[in-house]
Structure 1
Amino acid sequence: MRKSVYGIVLILLLSLSVVASGCIGGSTPTSTPPQTTTQQTTQQSPTQTQTPTETQTQTEVQTQTSPQTETQPTVECGSGKVVIWHAMHPNELQVFESLAEEYMAMCPGVEIVFEQKPNLEDALKAAIPAGQGPDLFIWAHDWIGKFAEAGLLEPVDEYITKDILQKFAPMAQEAMEYKGHYYAMPFAAETVAIIYNKKMVKEPPKTFDEMKKIMEEYYDPTNEKYGIAYPVNAYFISAWAQAFGGYYFDDKTEQPGLDKPETIKGFEFFFKNIWPYMAPTADYNTQQSIFLEGRAPMMVNGPWSIADVKKAGIDFGVAPLPPIIEEGKEYWPRPYGGVKLIYFVKGIRNKETAWYFVKWLTTSPEAIKTLALELGYIPVLKEVLNDPEIKNDPVIYGFGQAVQHAYLMPKSPKMSAVWGGVDGAINEILKDPKTANIPAILKKYQEEILKNMQG
């Protein structure tokens, strides 16, 4: 949805409207000061209240071609500056800034500013208590629990109506809520899937046995060619740890599960059946480069990697990790899945204006469609999910299918004690995967995680 002739005409029409009417209305700003990601609990939605968007006093811009034509949908504006912190890649930022420019063209009294923060979590935790944080920030939903518990988020319950909630897929509705309050708005889902080179793999594997045959065919370490490119850390290999009914952490019981037989089986499966066909490194960049250089037929990665794949000129497809068939039963790999959110920060300086922008960005079908088509984001806005163009996009469809098997990352703050323990276990296994005592290692780190959870 980049600026087009239509956009220029729209701006001219708005400008003429301003001259004719004297001004575009603006409301008084609120005066209060300010990736890699959840098994979610279903909680009762808070009581809904009348929102500013339902009154006749809201700030809005109406676009119309003439008094005789039908009035187009309104755009709520507000006025003032809204600062958004993020840790997005440059290609992602470019699209978001383009959308923000479009919104600002419709709302001349609003300024949307994006600020890059490489270490976003630390930056937010330092700035917000000091009253120096942004108005909004962008991250996956797995931060909502710990940030809410720390008092770093601003509830937006007064704006969230049943009508707004029902615009989103159920997973997204759950992601924006924590313990009865809404703190964010969703705009995409994400998980990992197989990205395959069509010159090497004509059809994606339908079962793990087919996947293994492909890996065997292309594994040639003497010539630095491998069966699959696959970063190895707690996030990426969660698919296999959770394939047989295991898990790292259960959000309902708030207990880790590394020592469960099903989790152990999943780890053993990965290191026996996938690791042997990989380059012997866990490094993300190295593994991605192997695929981009055509030295592996497949890569396991997420939507965020698609821009680099396209830049490499690879004719590619996307498909879910295929099921393991054992004794007639299907066991689907269940990689962690998340929902991308725009969070509202405690002490937000311009809450109403920020809400108007966030609502437009997350509920505008054209904005969400742009994020999907240009960045490969998986939509959570129902209207866009049903869009024919989205359904016909092989990338979005492929990742969309993968999301159906995803294991939602926990929202509980206790999950923060789990990541390090899982990565510790993985690093210990990687010292010698062939001889590693995986059950003993996982049980060791299960105890470590429990100790860390207790403080």
Structure 2
Amino acid sequence: MIGRKSLGLLLMCVLLIWSMAACSNNENGESASNEQNENVSTSNGAENAEASPDEEAVLEAPPIEEDASLIVWDNGGSDLEWAQFVAEKFTDEYGIPVEVQEVSQSDAPTKLQTDGPAGLGADVFLAPHDQIGSLVASGLILENFYAEEYRENFLEASVIGTTMEGVLYGYPTAIDTYALIYNKDLVETPPATMDELIEQAKAFNDLANDRYGFMMEVGNLYFLHGFIAGYGGYVFGDNNTNKDDIGLNNEGTVQAAKLMQRIHEEILPLKNEDINYGLKETLFTEGKLMFDINGPWAIAALKESGVSFGVAPLPKLDNGKQPISFSGVRAYYVNAYSEYPEAASLYAKFATSEDMLLKKYELSGQLPPRKSLLENEQIKSDEIASGFLAQASSAVPMPNIPQMSVVWDPVGNAFATLWNEQSDPKPLLDAALQQIEDAISLSE
């Protein structure tokens, strides 16, 4: 099989040889013979010796392996229905048979560890972006063959999330983030700023009757990150890739901690341990909660309950900045042990085309990471999807380096303590940072 780089080199050699021949003059001072030019023209499939841009694109297209056939792993439910739809369309387009098997995105990376080297794994499989570190370290996935196209056409968060050490590996299929979910019967216009949210929530509060203006999981870094990053805090430096640069005790993180303490003091005087997902859902569906910070996974239950609700981006902070939420990215990856890497890469590209991702949205409601679909009228008219996508445009992916696993608990515990005890944030955040650094050192 000729790889893409080898093919490009071959093309350059052909053009160089032709150029040298064209420049050699005969005795009459004329350029190379008509016979030579005809031979070159024939080999390029064009009338003229010099290939047009369109012809060059054809020449540089990856050679698809003869007799290729593919296996694809994807989730069950609507994801499986979509994958089967894509496979059928791909086969119609390229004549390459595709078998879709149900293997969940959480199981696929582990299964590939054994099935991949044995030649039994899928050619293309779905995985969450935070698994990319181990997949790359194990040599199990190939880089994205069309990287520049994806960097140009996909949301930045989806590209960063599926990139490792500057190399793009993923073909993003969906992006998740959280936003502000509000009860339409209680809110005329969603707040543009956190000051407005606090004011509206305070006016609605009736704690004696279990009425709350606002709730969120106050000891969960996943949700806290919006405020932390909005004020200038960060988990790891260099786009969350530098384990030696941790910004979870800087001034920005301290400002986020002080905002949380203000929320506790003014509108949500419950202990951290008394706030949970089930309580928020119950209060919201009963019309006793005005605002909740939550994600697309909450939507099905809200729709089933019949409550009237909307989704809006997180309100701006008092520094004028948009909170920068964490996002999760689902993506297809190509198995490094595939017999048909060119066909598999073409399939992953086809699956993440505009038409296929729009179909995925129609079947599952999952947010498409293609920039062009942000302007699609069908999606723009869907208030829920457009609300989450508006926030997703300001999101950053959760770090995908292995050291992230030791960050969640120390930071979450620090925020839970400063929330419950109204403690000075800086010493607690310093202690959390030390705990993280110690854990990273022990793992090396």
TM-score band by shorter chain is 0.7 to 0.9
Q: Distance in 2 between matches of 1:114 and 1:143?
A: 19
Distance 1:170 1:265, change over 3 A: closer
Q: How does 1:94-105 map to 2 (within 5 A)?
A: 94-105=77-88
Q: Please say which of residues 124-133 and 200-209 is displaced more in the overlay.
A: 124-133
> Partner of 2:211 in structure 1?
225
Q: TM-score, normalised by structure 1?
A: 0.72
Choose which of 94, 100, 105 in structure 2 pairs with 1:112.
Answer: 100
SS at match of 2:329: strand
CA-based RMSD of the aligned residues comes to 3.5
The 8 Å contact of residues 138 and 342 in structure 1, kept in 2 or not, is answered as yes
Q: Please say which of residues 188-197 and 174-183 is displaced more in the overlay.
A: 174-183
Residue deviations 1:88-115, cap 9 Å, x none?
Answer: xxxxx43222222223434383211122
Letter in 2 for 1:192: Y
Distance 1:263 1:55, change over 3 A: closer
Q: Distance in 1 between matches of 2:254 and 2:114?
A: 38
Is 1:320 the counterpart of 2:306 in the alignment? no
Distance 1:348 1:204, change over 3 A: same
The 8 Å contact of residues 129 and 152 in structure 1, kept in 2 or not, is answered as no
Q: Distance in 1 between matches of 2:190 and 2:6?
A: 46
SS at match of 1:248: strand
Residue deviations 1:10-36, cap 9 Å, x none?
Answer: xxxxxxxxxxxxxxxxxxxx9xxxxxx
Distance 1:271 1:119, change over 3 A: farther
Choose which of 71, 77, 81 in structure 2 pairs with 1:81.
Answer: 71
Letter in 2 for 1:234: L
Letter in 2 for 1:143: Q
Q: Distance in 2 between matches of 1:278 and 1:319?
A: 24
Identity of aligned residues (%): 27
Q: Distance in 2 between matches of 1:261 and 1:342?
A: 38
Distance 1:264 1:131, change over 3 A: farther
Q: Distance in 1 between matches of 2:117 and 2:418?
A: 40
> Partner of 1:264 in structure 2?
254
Q: Distance in 1 between matches of 2:345 and 2:399?
A: 26
Q: TM-score, normalised by structure 2?
A: 0.73
> Partner of 2:38 in structure 1?
none
Residue deviations 1:155-210, cap 9 Å, x none?
Answer: 134x3264455432444333333224332111233321101111111110112122
Unaligned runs of 5+ in 1: 1-29, 31-45, 61-76, 87-92
The 8 Å contact of residues 193 and 301 in structure 1, kept in 2 or not, is answered as yes
> Partner of 2:398 in structure 1?
409
Is 1:207 the counterpart of 2:193 in the alignment? yes
Q: Distance in 2 between matches of 1:199 and 1:236?
A: 25
Letter in 2 for 1:207: T
Choose which of 383, 405, 411 in structure 2 pairs with 1:422.
Answer: 411
- Cα distance, 1:211 vs structure 2: 0.5
The 8 Å contact of residues 205 and 212 in structure 2, kept in 1 or not, is answered as yes
> Partner of 1:153 in structure 2?
140
> Partner of 1:69 in structure 2?
none
Letter in 2 for 1:383: S
> Partner of 2:370 in structure 1?
381
Letter in 1 for 2:268: Y
Letter in 2 for 1:339: V
- Cα distance, 1:387 vs structure 2: 1.9
Q: Distance in 2 between matches of 1:304 and 1:101?
A: 23
Q: How does 1:130-169 map to 2 (within 5 A)?
A: 135-148=123-136, 150-157=137-144, 159-160=145-146, 162-163=148-149, 165-169=151-155
Q: Distance in 1 between matches of 2:214 and 2:365?
A: 22
Choose which of 182, 196, 202 in structure 1 pairs with 2:168.
Answer: 182
The 8 Å contact of residues 244 and 265 in structure 1, kept in 2 or not, is answered as yes
SS at match of 1:322: coil
> Partner of 2:48 in structure 1?
none
The 8 Å contact of residues 145 and 412 in structure 1, kept in 2 or not, is answered as yes
> Partner of 1:306 in structure 2?
299
Q: Distance in 1 between matches of 2:199 and 2:435?
A: 38
Q: Distance in 2 between matches of 1:345 and 1:228?
A: 45
- Cα distance, 1:122 vs structure 2: 6.2
Unaligned runs of 5+ in 2: 9-56
Distance 1:58 1:242, change over 3 A: closer
Structure number with larger C-alpha Rg: 2
- Cα distance, 1:445 vs structure 2: 0.9
SS at match of 2:222: coil
Distance 1:418 1:312, change over 3 A: same
SS at match of 2:352: helix
Letter in 1 for 2:409: G
Residue deviations 1:365-400, cap 9 Å, x none?
Answer: 232123334544332223323322222322222122
> Partner of 2:425 in structure 1?
438
The 8 Å contact of residues 65 and 340 in structure 2, kept in 1 or not, is answered as no
Choose which of 268, 272, 276 in structure 2 pairs with 1:277.
Answer: 268
Letter in 2 for 1:361: A
The 8 Å contact of residues 226 and 296 in structure 1, kept in 2 or not, is answered as yes
Q: Distance in 2 between matches of 1:132 and 1:222?
A: 60
The 8 Å contact of residues 202 and 213 in structure 2, kept in 1 or not, is answered as yes
SS at match of 2:171: strand
Is 1:241 the counterpart of 2:228 in the alignment? yes
The 8 Å contact of residues 142 and 169 in structure 2, kept in 1 or not, is answered as yes
Residue deviations 1:240-276, cap 9 Å, x none?
Answer: 2222212232235531122212212211211321585
- Cα distance, 1:140 vs structure 2: 3.7
Is 1:343 the counterpart of 2:330 in the alignment? no
Letter in 2 for 1:202: E
The 8 Å contact of residues 185 and 341 in structure 1, kept in 2 or not, is answered as yes
Residue deviations 1:313-371, cap 9 Å, x none?
Answer: 2222111111133xxx41332222343322334544664554343222211x2321233
SS at match of 1:450: helix
Q: Please say which of residues 236-245 and 369-378 is displaced more in the overlay.
A: 369-378
> Partner of 1:392 in structure 2?
381
Q: Please say which of residues 237-246 and 405-414 is displaced more in the overlay.
A: 405-414
Choose which of 430, 436, 442 in structure 2 pairs with 1:449.
Answer: 436
The 8 Å contact of residues 124 and 133 in structure 1, kept in 2 or not, is answered as yes
Q: Distance in 2 between matches of 1:203 and 1:58?
A: 53
